């Protein structure tokens, strides 16, 4: 890792802020570009729903394996090399995902794609912590907002290219070309080092870092639940036509994206503690509205409130990681990223188990209770 003198001499400024936003956009764009290709992979490999689910789990497994390893790697090689290398890994594996028909090879490709995504996700957050701290003002929400914008652009862009008659391979190559161009522009301004602070390059999260990780787990669990269960709730509980069921997640994702793009100013005005308090209460109240109101229109409004409430909690928690002294950020950021990603993977399954034992309404109400607990936790954090 670079010395303290080198890090001071290369203190992040405007160029590094722009490159960080581009890196977040690349992360969101790359992972979302895969989503429109899933139906083609299912048909090409003759997969049933169960087998497809197992293969898709490989992406998450690859990410979770890579995330803890990103801490030692970024300490040794710096953010610039890791962001470029992980982005290239995603670019190398996306075109094979568009043409592979063998199930085993498809699983391997998804593992590697997930590893690139997991590494990139951790390292861009490490760079974001450093850049935000150097700026002396809130920036994390805007960084995460660019991830959401990238996701919209990736899914929408690939879908548009496919609708014009392009093959999945051509669509994936368009994604690779855009990511390559963005990397070429931004790479010189990625940080050549990987964080400050002494200590081990790998450690099990403890103390305040573990507490922050648990809060991230809860918020990411909510995101996973909205992705996988909002449509099911609207169709099975509220009787909404399946063609309109996706509106629930659309409402959630839209308000989350808008909230993050406006979040830096909101955080500066309200303060991080109030963001966690009001955000948790707003998200929990929105989920209660969606599940308790008999109107599906009110359900959409509730899901929109969940997105608005959750939008800035995770960015504020990543800022808190940059201010704690329990663990160095190059260790703490991968730790809470891993816990958060585990929430996205485990959350939908946990909701399903509780719904099977009770009902989907009660399962979502339980999640609303967890969000209220997140709101109450804000006063215990130094943010």
Q: Alpha-carbon distance 287 to 251, whole Å? A: 13
In this prediction the pTM is 0.84
Quick check: 304 and 256 in contact, CB under 8 A? no
| Secondary structure of residue 274 in the 3-state scheme | helix
User: Shortest CA distance to 141 belongs to which of 264, 229, 247?
Assistant: 264
- What angle is formed at CA 65 by the lines to CA 157 and CA 49, rounded to 5 degrees? 55
User: Shortest CA distance to 176 belongs to which of 116, 121, 115?
Assistant: 116
Domain with CATH 1.20.1250.20 in the chain: 4-189, 207-380
Domain spanning 4-189, CATH architecture: Up-down Bundle (1.20)
Quick check: 230 and 248 in contact, CB under 8 A? yes
Q: What is the DSSP string of 105-174?
A: HHHHHHHHHHHHHHHHHHHHHHHHHHHHHHHTS--HHHHHHHHHHHHHHHHHHHHHHHHTT--HHHHHHH
Quick check: 100 and 108 in contact, CB under 8 A? no
Residue 1's pLDDT is 41
Which phi and psi angles does 369 have, rounded to 5°? -65, -40
Helices (H), 262-328: 263-270, 272-292, 296-310, 313-323
Residue 201's pLDDT is 54
User: Shortest CA distance to 252 belongs to which of 363, 151, 340, 360?
Assistant: 151
Q: What is the chain's pLDDT, residue by residue, as a tens digit (383 residues)? A: 444 434 444 567 889 999 999 999 999 999 888 888 888 888 888 887 678 777 878 888 898 899 888 888 888 899 999 999 999 999 999 999 999 999 999 999 999 999 999 999 999 999 999 999 898 889 999 999 999 999 889 888 898 898 899 999 999 999 999 999 999 999 999 999 886 554 555 567 778 889 999 999 999 999 888 877 888 888 888 888 877 777 888 899 899 999 999 999 999 999 999 999 999 999 999 999 999 999 999 999 999 999 999 999 999 999 988 888 888 887 888 888 888 888 887 777 788 888 888 998 999 999 999 999 999 988 877 65
Q: What is the DSSP string of 201-229?
A: SS----HHHHHHHHHHHHHHHHHHHHHHH
CATH number for the segment(s) 207-380: 1.20.1250.20
């Amino acid at each position: 890792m670079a010395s303290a003198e080198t890090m001071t001499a290369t203190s992040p400024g405007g160029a590094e802020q722009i490159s960080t936003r581009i890196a977040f956009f690349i992360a969101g764009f790359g992972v979302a570009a895969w989503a429109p290709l899933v139906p083609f992979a299912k048909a090409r490999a003759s997969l049933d729903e169960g087998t497809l689910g197992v293969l898709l789990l490989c992406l998450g497994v690859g990410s979770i394996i890579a995330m803890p390893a990103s801490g030692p790697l970024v300490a040794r090689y710096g953010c610039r090399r890791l962001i470029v290398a992980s982005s290239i890994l995603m670019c190398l594996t996306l075109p094979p995902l568009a043409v592979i028909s063998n199930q085993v090879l498809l699983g391997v490709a998804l593992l590697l794609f997930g590893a690139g995504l997991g590494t990139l996700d951790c390292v861009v957050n490490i760079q974001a912590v450093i850049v935000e701290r150097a700026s002396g003002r809130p920036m994390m929400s805007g960084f995460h907002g660019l991830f959401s914008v990238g996701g919209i652009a990736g899914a929408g862009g690939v879908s548009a290219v496919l609708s014009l008659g392009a093959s999945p391979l051509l669509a994936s190559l368009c994604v690779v070309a855009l990511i390559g161009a963005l990397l070429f522009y931004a790479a010189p301004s990625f940080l050549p080092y990987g964080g400050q602070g002494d200590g081990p390059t790998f450690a099990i999260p403890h103390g305040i870092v573990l507490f922050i990780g648990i809060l991230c787990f809860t918020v990411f669990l909510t995101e996973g639940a909205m992705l996988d269960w909002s449509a099911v709730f609207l169709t099975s509980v509220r009787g909404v036509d399946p063609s309109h069921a996706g509106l629930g997640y659309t409402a959630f994702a839209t308000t989350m994206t808008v909230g993050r793009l406006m979040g830096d100013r909101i955080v500066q005005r309200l303060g991080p503690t109030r963001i966690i308090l009001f955000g948790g209460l707003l998200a929990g109240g929105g989920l209660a509205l969606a599940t308790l109101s008999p109107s599906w229109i009110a359900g959409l409004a509730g899901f929109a409130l969940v997105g608005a409430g959750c939008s800035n909690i995770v960015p504020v928690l990543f800022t808190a990681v940059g201010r704690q002294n329990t663990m160095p950020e190059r260790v703490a950021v991968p730790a809470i990223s891993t816990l958060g990603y585990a929430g996205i993977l485990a959350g939908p399954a946990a909701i399903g188990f509780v719904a099977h034992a009770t009902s989907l309404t009660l399962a979502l109400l339980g999640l609303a209770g967890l969000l209220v607990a997140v709101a109450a936790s804000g006063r215990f954090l130094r943010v």
